Structure 1
Amino acid sequence: MTAADVPYDFDFTVESAYGHALELLAEYDPIVDGGIHLDLACGAGAIAAQIESRFGTSYVGVDFDQAQVDRLREAGFEAHQSDLESPDCYEALRELIAGRPVASITMLDGFEHLARRDGIGDALGRLSREHGCILVLSVPNVTHRDIAVKLALGSWDYTSTGLLDQTHVRLFGERQLEKDLAGYGLHRIARSDVLLTNSDQHFPDDHSALQQGTTIEVLLSELRDAAEPNAAVNQFVWACVAGPRVPAVAAEHAAAGPKFTVLIRTQGRRVHELQEVLTCLSAQSDQDFEVVVVAHSVDDRLVIGRLVDDTPAGLRGRIRVVHVDRGNRATLLNIGFAAARGRYVTVLDDDDLVLGHWIETFSVLDRKHRGQVLRSLAVVQGASRVDVLGQPGIRATTSPEMPYEEEFSFVKHLSLNQSPFMTLAFPRALFRDFGVRFDESLTTTEDWDYLLRAASLVGVADSREIVAIYHHWAEQESSATEHDAEVWRLNELAIRRKIDSRPLLLQAGETRRIRQLVESEHLYREITAQVPATADDPDRAEALHRLISLLESRSWKATSPLRWAGGVVGRGRDARGAHFTDAQAAEIQQAIAQVERSRSWRLSRWLLRK
């Protein structure tokens, strides 16, 4: 018999699962006087010589195939034929062990071939526990990027060997393998996975979704890579030890829990404001939500505890407090989203207020647009903190304004965030299943960044209901004042570079907005071309250029809803640069002054920093 006649006769190499398995064994020094190494589903015994020469341990191979067993014996190694699918597997293995101490166990690329695994799984757990020995196993990863990309496009190609070996009867990703092993009382303590960017499933050669750099390849690869960390893992190679059995539970189709998680970030310095927020929540018309308070570096934790204790009983039992002593604003959000149990997560800072139908508005949207980002509206109002008879209070300093566009536009959000955090509810699946995390390298604008990435993946559903009051603290510290303008600018540039570096999915209707922007740019160029600076009237030409840049700016367009009447020099709230091409210099200067003095323009300067 030649090597070509024997299936799965692979040579030992350091780069293979065999080499990775031996490195894990070496890390835990499996040398026991008179001990044996038990190699289950050993096949041709690729590691036999390495085990005996490297560790001085007697190799014992076990396989169902008698031909493989005979071949090992001819090579001078102990080997036994045994049915690893038998429910009596444990007793059969104990018999061949014959009272000798087991120093270590391996089962390399065998588990996936067994239709009935309970017998061998029970035996592995019991033997590892009884002998206090390590188990190293390797299993192909069915969640490799190549398989995921091809399956997304309808391809599933079995092969004679490899990730989709036609003899595999059980397929594993990391979570399924962990769950199955835990059911047998086996728990991973180390790993040395085999990584392959291009697996044996990386075919055909002309498959565009597999060719590096194509738009579809970049998009699908980024989605897969973000979802969980094993996209390039070809084989899981794990070291396990015995521990408690954890009964396997089938995946739930619908996880029990509230519909919404309200995430509140606080530093414990705005006690009265946080109390107002909890009062707003207790009065919600829809109570299908939980509250997760993420307290960041709070010196007096009892303050938060007392506020929770003072809330009505119906709400108090749904509040959890998570204390965090590290990281920045984005860190708190990642921790809070990880702790959330709701189908959606909405973020409410401790210095803003929501109206009684806030949750109800999201719930109505969910019934028609499940799985999308849910969006409502807020008004902006100036506020200050005051003392009233020795008690803290909040005083409005301006009338409420509604500067945000009623309909979400991804294209417009690329330049200016039009959606305060509390007006959004994000599907938790984005965090849990897509791996979309808040960027902890950002010290500001982390909400804008997350919204852009979320909206590109799942779209946004709009409600035109005003459900919140976004406070503008003119004299007190807030997120807008903790960092200077340069920090805000650098974070904004980082987000734009990130967006520019990857393909984007756009919701239906966004191409219309792109066309409008392009047409606006063409109009701007046509207007400015008509009014070159000349020696006859250089001041007028320069002023007209200035006015056009103001009226065509994103800030002026974004605050159009605030200009209910009047507009600019009697030309309406939507006055454009083209309206002034024939105007006299004095009228142009008057229009510039009117724009720069307007309430909407001043508010837009603040919105850019929020």
Structure 2
Amino acid sequence: MRRLIISPGPGVALRSASHGLDAGTTVVSVFAGPPSEAGPAERLAMVAEVARDRAALLRADAECLYFAFADPVPASTVVQVAWALNRIAHDFDEIWLPAGIGDRRHSVTAEAALRLRGSFRRVMYAEHPDAAALWQDAPTLKSVLAATRFAPPRVPDHERCQAAEHEWTWDLPAAPASPPTVALLPRPAAGREGGVFLSVLMRTRGDRPEQLRHALASLVEQTSRDFELLLLPHDCSPDAVAAEVDALPDWLRERTRTVPVAGGKRATPLNAGVRAARGRYFVALDDDDEALPHWVQTFADLEAATPGRVLRTGVAFVHLDGSRPDVTLPADFDLVGHLSESLSAFLGLAFPLDRLDGGELRFDETLDVCEDWDYLLRAAQLFGVANTPVVTARYLRWPDVANSFGGYPAPTWQASWRQVHDATDASFLLLPPGSAVDLRRLYAAVHDAEAELEALRAAAGPPE
């Protein structure tokens, strides 16, 4: 039996779930990092606490892991903890999770652990520094559990619990079946269950009818029809697109909905489209883009092979006037590289819809541009990325037709870049396996370049 005990911090599993410690057990302590504003003394105290915890767990023949999450806890940490736990959870047959009794570290850990999905057995344990007193008064413990939003649907009777001195554990129902990825709690959505695979979100200002017709025609030519279309007229009348909708073939017109959006910036219609979408995934195709006939099918093939991930395909950048050669972005996805600049095209990215509920992941409506890059950075850390180099779409540069690159001045782009960088710097980073190699390589390259520059300066001598 491979058992994982998820502990809010060092020492909790030892105090509250010690009867689960044996040679087949691994304990992961989530909040094992010092507070972000900690001084040297606080940091040393946390190191000492981790060392004591590690020594005690090793004496019990248990393995131990430590995540460097810290206090205070931002609201987004629930999703980040769930992502980190998901990376290891499916190596185990049984998972013990805390009930969430205690400070916010406990409640965040409990909520994140409840979001894991898999075939493993689930056991909840009651963690509390006063577990001994609570054990003497079982109704008190029941009332504490009932008051937490993370307690099971029915607080178990005494007979259904197991106790080792002052420790309580009880079985939870099996987790709903889903792919081995972080599965965030779903929201009710009419038509989502058993619906289409892909929701295509198409933003339009209603001022590019020729380009809109071309984009819609590319959808008509799809080899897979497992998609719906949401037209998102932004700050314009729905009448601006009505004629184009009426001209669609019957099968596509029946799958098309128009969702007018007023106010806001570029991200506002995207959030409206995500709220209205009924597919398992969504993708954005603007009204001046072109999807190649295998666009939807390629996304579907990626999902079948690696469900639950962000799906990434190749995209060609095409200047229709021939002023520049066609360009494609890097075929492989590199999250470390994306921290510096966007290396993916929005229309080549499909995002899982059922796993984006609860307000954890929305397009940032304060950004003037770069809303797709910002969203991808967060989604890629949560779900991982399934990638194919196959080019499935074309980002078209039409002669004499404005687009986001030409429609916003350089200072606006620079401000949005800084905003995305600042948001990334202010949050935890969850990098996929292999990233450490890339970071070491980058660090070595910078070190070598600095050394070479210093040697050149020394050889040149002091300035005259």
- When the two structures are superposed, what TM-score results if normalisation uses the length of structure 2? 0.61
Alignment of 1:34-49 (within 5 A): none
Partner of 1:400: 326
State the Cα distance separating 1:429 from its structure 2 match. Answer: 2.9
Could you tell me which amino acid in structure 2 is paired with residue 149 of structure 1?
Answer: T
Partner of 1:446: 371
- 1:375 matched to 2:301: no
Partner of 2:425: 500
- 1:411 matched to 2:336: yes
Counterpart selection for 1:328 from 247, 250, 265: 265
Counterpart selection for 2:345 from 398, 415, 420: 420
State the Cα distance separating 1:503 from its structure 2 match. Answer: 1.0
Indicate if the aligned counterparts of 1:227 and 1:435 stay in contact, CA closer than 8 A: no
| Cα distance change on mapping 1:152 and 1:278 into 2, 3 Å | closer
Distance, in Å, in 2 between the alignment partners of 1:509 and 1:347 is: 29
Distance, in Å, in 1 between the alignment partners of 2:358 and 2:339 is: 25
| Cα distance change on mapping 1:536 and 1:496 into 2, 3 Å | closer
Matched positions, count = 319
State the Cα distance separating 1:328 from its structure 2 match. Answer: 1.0
Partner of 1:117: none
Distance, in Å, in 2 between the alignment partners of 1:307 and 1:253 is: 25
- 1:530 matched to 2:423: no
| Cα distance change on mapping 1:522 and 1:534 into 2, 3 Å | closer
State the Cα distance separating 1:470 from its structure 2 match. Answer: 1.1
Partner of 1:166: 142
State the Cα distance separating 1:272 from its structure 2 match. Answer: 1.1
Could you list the per-position Cα deviations for residues 3-31 of structure 1 after superposition, in whole angstroms to 9, with x for gaps in the alignment? xxxxxxxxxxxxxxxxxxxxxxxxxxxxx
Alignment of 1:137-176 (within 5 A): 146-150=106-110, 152=112, 155-157=125-127, 165-166=141-142
Distance, in Å, in 1 between the alignment partners of 2:306 and 2:247 is: 36
Could you tell me which amino acid in structure 2 is paired with residue 166 of structure 1?
Answer: K
- 1:273 matched to 2:219: no
| Cα distance change on mapping 1:170 and 1:251 into 2, 3 Å | farther
Distance, in Å, in 2 between the alignment partners of 1:164 and 1:481 is: 65
Indicate if the aligned counterparts of 1:143 and 1:173 stay in contact, CA closer than 8 A: no
> Which sections of structure 2, spanning at least 5 residues, go unmatched?
1-99, 114-123, 154-181
Alignment of 1:52-63 (within 5 A): none
Indicate if the aligned counterparts of 2:196 and 2:228 stay in contact, CA closer than 8 A: yes
Q: Which structure has the larger Rg over C-alpha atoms?
A: 1
SS of the residue aligned with 1:531? helix
Indicate if the aligned counterparts of 1:259 and 1:289 stay in contact, CA closer than 8 A: yes
Indicate if the aligned counterparts of 1:449 and 1:495 stay in contact, CA closer than 8 A: yes
State the Cα distance separating 1:534 from its structure 2 match. Answer: 6.3
Indicate the RMSD between aligned Cα atoms, in angstroms. 3.8
Could you tell me which amino acid in structure 1 is paired with residue 216 of structure 2?
Answer: L
Distance, in Å, in 2 between the alignment partners of 1:461 and 1:163 is: 49
Could you list the per-position Cα deviations for residues 393-443 of structure 1 after superposition, in whole angstroms to 9, with x for gaps in the alignment? xx55443222x1111001000112111100000011343146201111111
Identity of matched residues, %: 32
Distance, in Å, in 2 between the alignment partners of 1:261 and 1:148 is: 31
- Which sits farther off after the overlay, 528-537 or 366-375? 528-537
Indicate if the aligned counterparts of 1:227 and 1:436 stay in contact, CA closer than 8 A: no
- 1:477 matched to 2:402: yes
Distance, in Å, in 2 between the alignment partners of 1:356 and 1:312 is: 16
SS of the residue aligned with 1:507? coil
Counterpart selection for 1:519 from 421, 436, 444: 444
Partner of 2:232: 294
Distance, in Å, in 1 between the alignment partners of 2:324 and 2:107 is: 58
Could you list the per-position Cα deviations for residues 166-191 of structure 1 after superposition, in whole angstroms to 9, with x for gaps in the alignment? 158978869x99xxxxxxxxxxxxxx
- 1:491 matched to 2:416: yes
Alignment of 1:138-217 (within 5 A): 146-150=106-110, 152=112, 155-157=125-127, 165-166=141-142
Partner of 2:38: none
Partner of 1:459: 384
Bigger relative contact order (CA 8 A; separation at least 6): 2
Indicate if the aligned counterparts of 1:373 and 1:460 stay in contact, CA closer than 8 A: yes
SS of the residue aligned with 2:412? helix
SS of the residue aligned with 1:431? coil
| Cα distance change on mapping 1:151 and 1:373 into 2, 3 Å | closer
State the Cα distance separating 1:478 from its structure 2 match. Answer: 1.0
Distance, in Å, in 2 between the alignment partners of 1:437 and 1:143 is: 29
- When the two structures are superposed, what TM-score results if normalisation uses the length of structure 1? 0.47
Partner of 1:365: 302
SS of the residue aligned with 1:532? helix
| Cα distance change on mapping 1:526 and 1:534 into 2, 3 Å | closer
State the Cα distance separating 1:284 from its structure 2 match. Answer: 0.7
State the Cα distance separating 1:290 from its structure 2 match. Answer: 0.5
Could you tell me which amino acid in structure 2 is paired with residue 405 of structure 1?
Answer: P
State the Cα distance separating 1:518 from its structure 2 match. Answer: 1.1
SS of the residue aligned with 1:366? helix
Distance, in Å, in 2 between the alignment partners of 1:164 and 1:294 is: 53
SS of the residue aligned with 2:207? coil
Counterpart selection for 1:350 from 259, 263, 287: 287
SS of the residue aligned with 2:260? strand
Could you tell me which amino acid in structure 2 is paired with residue 271 of structure 1?
Answer: P
Partner of 1:319: 256
Distance, in Å, in 2 between the alignment partners of 1:273 and 1:337 is: 23
State the Cα distance separating 1:527 from its structure 2 match. Answer: 2.3
> Which sections of structure 1, spanning at least 5 residues, go unmatched?
1-140, 178-222, 229-248, 384-394, 540-610
State the Cα distance separating 1:484 from its structure 2 match. Answer: 1.1
Indicate if the aligned counterparts of 2:261 and 2:268 stay in contact, CA closer than 8 A: no
Alignment of 1:18-29 (within 5 A): none
Could you list the per-position Cα deviations for residues 284-329 of structure 1 after superposition, in whole angstroms to 9, with x for gaps in the alignment? 1111110111110114x32311101101111110000001111111
State the Cα distance separating 1:526 from its structure 2 match. Answer: 2.7
State the Cα distance separating 1:537 from its structure 2 match. Answer: 12
Distance, in Å, in 1 between the alignment partners of 2:243 and 2:348 is: 28
Indicate if the aligned counterparts of 2:192 and 2:280 stay in contact, CA closer than 8 A: no
Indicate if the aligned counterparts of 2:299 and 2:311 stay in contact, CA closer than 8 A: yes
Distance, in Å, in 2 between the alignment partners of 1:284 and 1:495 is: 34
Distance, in Å, in 1 between the alignment partners of 2:110 and 2:149 is: 16
| Cα distance change on mapping 1:339 and 1:434 into 2, 3 Å | same
Indicate if the aligned counterparts of 2:267 and 2:371 stay in contact, CA closer than 8 A: yes
Distance, in Å, in 2 between the alignment partners of 1:162 and 1:286 is: 58
